[in-house]
């Protein structure tokens, strides 16, 4: 029964995968139109040389053949080669993936660790000044442009602190240039500002969510029963209520998993963080179309795969979900 | 003989208590919205920015007396409150306040256009998919799945390079992704309304599908669209500013709040304020849009408070 459901879900993702690849591929070709940076406008190359290069790259063949070739390679795990430096796109992706994961995982963890206490406190002291303050903070945090927040933090903690002769934070990068990167403290110092900026939105959304979910749970019968048994308020809140209040948050955090790859693009650019987002941005500006196509498809496939995994996990965990 | 009126009838006394005036669903919502002071202030701020956008040339002529693209290379990085430049000048000596005023045109114009387009397409798709169900529903919703599976920021960058956007195309680019979410929401709402009695009655009376959709379904999903639209406005302004900041949206010399921040980092040592003002206007606009959206949601569904 379950196996059948899993099979059905897997089969259902196939059209979505094909649709995604069709869209990214055709968008990219509408933009590029077989243009090869560094070749097409190169006065040193004769037209017949350019023809030869295009034939070598397979750009002279009909578009649907190009698509099918690309798709076949994709199925074999080959994301193509860069138009500007000829190296494989997958090598670029795996080169940049660790930095992106370092940033986004930290931001999501920070978001969880900070937003839950904020939300619980807000719910327990509903209507208090503290609650109003947290609410204002979250509403404000949701409206701040991430890149601007990054700029302001750099302005304060890098530029101004340096001007005042205080210890200041590095304004960008993963490690201090010239060092090997083995120094954990150095990495952490570089991580502080970008992770803070990226977690800001998560904190403002998730703390509101925890608050309302907690309020709902605190009104339930079993919480009253627990109190009636003479349980301490601490135990009631943290043992009984919080556990159930956090369950919907898990879903919400799960929805952010695709952002593990794409979520930090703007932050990566502001803090010159060498991740996937910055790679895509740089390559897009250099008109390295195949790399952009590869990264976009890679990210989209991750989203689809993540959704599939979540659906199957839900079916495993929640017996109420019928395998229909 | 029958005596007239043998029974004492309690005639309703007109002035005893003013009967509650019958109010429609929309009037009820509007009444609740009007009592939400935060929401009304936020709405006022939005209206203010819209007016600034519309009357930017007039305001520039009256207040700053400057043109937004007049360069003055002898007077770059002037601090705020310098003569003739209320908020100072930027790296090319252009008046900062004038550029902020004109920047409102980009943010507001793209914001409202993108919301309008996304709502129109999204509602149409959602209504059709929800109403007909079956194969049409399956195809349309898979298409939505496909659009929403590709990380939005990547799609924006791809399309921004493809179209070299101006104000209208940038709005269309942003809306071309945003319609997916509203289509899902509207479809869900349609599914819950579709089998109600008034729909069955309408169909039984021989109403055409188009009439059922436009006259009966649309008014019942309108509240979802209004709430989504007002919350989405803030998102559009944020996305648009980020794209301009990255140099992929509206590009100079047209001033926008996003592209005014593009080089802010390199100006830190000349002027701090250049990095601050455009961010504040973006923040205020998005904040107002979000708070107004929340107020609208509360007004339509008081249980959600």
Mind listing the pLDDT tens digit for each residue in B11-24?
A: 555 555 556 677 77
CB pairs under 8 A between A and B: 121
CA distance B264 to B278: 10
- Which residues of chain B approach chain A closer than 8 Å at the C-beta? 142-143, 145-147, 149-151, 153-155, 157-159, 161-162, 234, 238, 241-242, 245-248, 261, 264-265, 268-269, 272, 275-276, 278-279, 282-283, 286-287, 290-291
Are B291 and A140 inside 8 Å of each other by CB?
Answer: no
Reported as type and span, the H/E element at residue A6 is helix A2-32
The model's pTM is 0.84
Q: Which of residues 273-312 of A touch B (CB under 8 A)?
A: 277, 280-281, 284-285, 287, 292, 295-296, 299-300, 303-304, 307
B298 interaction partners in chain A (CB closer than 8 Å): none
pLDDT tens sequence across B271-301:
777 788 888 999 999 999 988 888 888 888 7
Query: For residue B166, what are its two tokens?
Result: 């101006």
DSSP state of B215: I
The closest alpha carbon to B195, from B210, B174, B217, B214, belongs to B217
Task: For chain B, say whether A94 makes contact (Cβ under 8 Å).
Answer: no
Give B189's contacts (C-beta < 8 A, 6+ positions apart).
Answer: B126, B130, B220, B221, B224
Q: Report chain A residues whose CB lies below 8 A from the CB of B145.
A: 16, 19
Q: Is A265 on the interface with B (CB under 8 A)?
A: yes
Q: Which of B161, B246, B261 sits opposite A269 (nearest CB)?
A: B246
Q: Please enumerate in sequence order all residues whose Cβ is within 8 A of that of B81, keeping only pairs 6 or more positions apart, or say none.
A: B88
Task: Find the angle CA(B258)-CA(B263)-CA(B268) to the nearest 5 degrees.
Answer: 115
Query: What are the residues whose beta carbons fall under 8 Å from the beta carbon of B271, sequence distance 6 or more?
Result: B77, B79, B88, B90
pLDDT tens figures, B152-199: 888 888 888 877 788 888 999 999 888 988 998 899 888 888 888 888
Chain B interface includes A219 (CB < 8 A): no
Question: Does any CB of chain B come closer than 8 Å to the CB of residue A148?
Answer: yes
Instruction: Summarize pLDDT for B101-158 with one digit per residue, the tens.
Output: 888 888 899 999 999 999 999 999 999 998 888 899 888 988 888 888 888 888 888 8
Integer angstrom CA distances of residue B13 from A80, B8, B19, B63: 85, 14, 11, 60
């Amino acid at each position: 029964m379950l196996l059948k459901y899993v099979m059905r879900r897997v089969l259902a993702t196939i059209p979505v995968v094909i649709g995604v690849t069709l869209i990214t591929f055709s968008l990219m070709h509408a933009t590029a139109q077989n243009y090869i940076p560094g070749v097409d406008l190169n006065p040193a190359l004769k037209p017949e040389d350019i023809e030869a290069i295009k034939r070598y790259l397979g750009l002279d063949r009909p578009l649907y053949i190009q698509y099918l070739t690309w798709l076949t390679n994709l199925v074999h795990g080959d994301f193509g080669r860069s138009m500007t430096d000829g190296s494989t796109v997958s090598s670029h992706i795996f080169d940049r993936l660790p930095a992106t994961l370092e940033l986004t995982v930290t931001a999501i963890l920070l978001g969880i660790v900070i937003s839950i206490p904020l939300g619980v406190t807000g719910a327990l002291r509903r209507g208090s000044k503290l609650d109003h303050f947290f609410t204002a903070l979250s509403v404000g945090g949701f409206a701040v442009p991430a890149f601007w927040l990054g700029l302001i933090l750099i302005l304060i903690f890098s530029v101004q602190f340096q001007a005042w002769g205080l210890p200041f934070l590095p304004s960008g990068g993963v490690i201090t240039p010239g060092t090997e990167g083995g120094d954990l403290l150095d990495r952490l110092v570089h991580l502080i500002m970008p992770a803070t900026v990226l977690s800001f939105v998560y904190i403002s959304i998730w703390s509101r969510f925890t608050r309302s979910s907690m309020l709902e749970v605190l009104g339930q019968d079993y919480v009253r029963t627990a109190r009636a048994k003479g349980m301490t308020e601490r135990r009631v809140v943290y043992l009984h209520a919080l556990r159930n209040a956090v369950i919907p948050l898990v879903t919400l955090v799960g929805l952010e998993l695709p952002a593990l790859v794409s979520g930090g693009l703007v932050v990566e650019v502001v803090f010159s963080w060498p991740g996937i987002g910055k790679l895509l941005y740089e390559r897009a500006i250099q008109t390295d179309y195949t790399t952009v196509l590869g990264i976009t498809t890679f990210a989209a496939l991750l989203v689809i795969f993540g959704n599939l995994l979540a659906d199957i996990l839900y079916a495993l965990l929640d017996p109420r979900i019928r395998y229909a | 003989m029958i005596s007239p009126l043998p029974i004492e009838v309690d005639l309703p006394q007109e002035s005893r208590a003013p009967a509650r005036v019958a109010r429609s669903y929309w009037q009820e919502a509007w009444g609740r919205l009007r009592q939400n002071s935060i929401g009304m202030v936020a709405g006022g701020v939005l209206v203010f920015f819209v007016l600034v956008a519309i009357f930017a040339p007039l305001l520039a002529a009256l207040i700053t007396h400057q043109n937004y693209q007049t360069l003055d290379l002898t007077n770059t990085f002037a601090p705020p409150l310098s003569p003739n430049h209320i908020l100072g000048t930027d790296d090319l000596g252009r008046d900062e306040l004038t550029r902020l005023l004109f920047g409102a045109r980009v943010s507001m114009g793209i914001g409202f256009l993108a919301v309008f387009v996304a709502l129109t397409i999204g509602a149409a798709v959602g209504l059709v998919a929800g109403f007909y169900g079956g194969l049409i529903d399956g195809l349309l919703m898979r298409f939505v799945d496909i659009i929403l599976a590709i990380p939005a920021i990547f799609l924006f960058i791809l399309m921004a390079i493809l179209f070299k956007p101006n104000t209208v195309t940038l709005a269309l680019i942003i809306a071309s992704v945003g319609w997916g979410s509203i289509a899902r929401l509207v479809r869900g709402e349609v599914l819950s309304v579709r089998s109600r009695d008034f729909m069955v009655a309408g169909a039984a009376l021989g109403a055409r599908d188009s009439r059922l959709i436009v006259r009966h379904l649309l008014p019942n999903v309108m509240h979802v669209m209004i709430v989504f639209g007002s919350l989405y406005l803030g998102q559009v302004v944020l996305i648009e500013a980020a794209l301009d900041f990255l140099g992929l949206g509206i590009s100079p010399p047209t001033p926008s709040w996003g592209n005014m921040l593009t080089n802010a980092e390199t100006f830190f040592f000349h002027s701090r304020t250049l990095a601050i003002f455009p961010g504040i206007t973006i923040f205020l606009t998005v904040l107002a849009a979000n708070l107004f959206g929340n107020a609208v949601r509360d007004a339509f569904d008081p249980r959600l408070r």
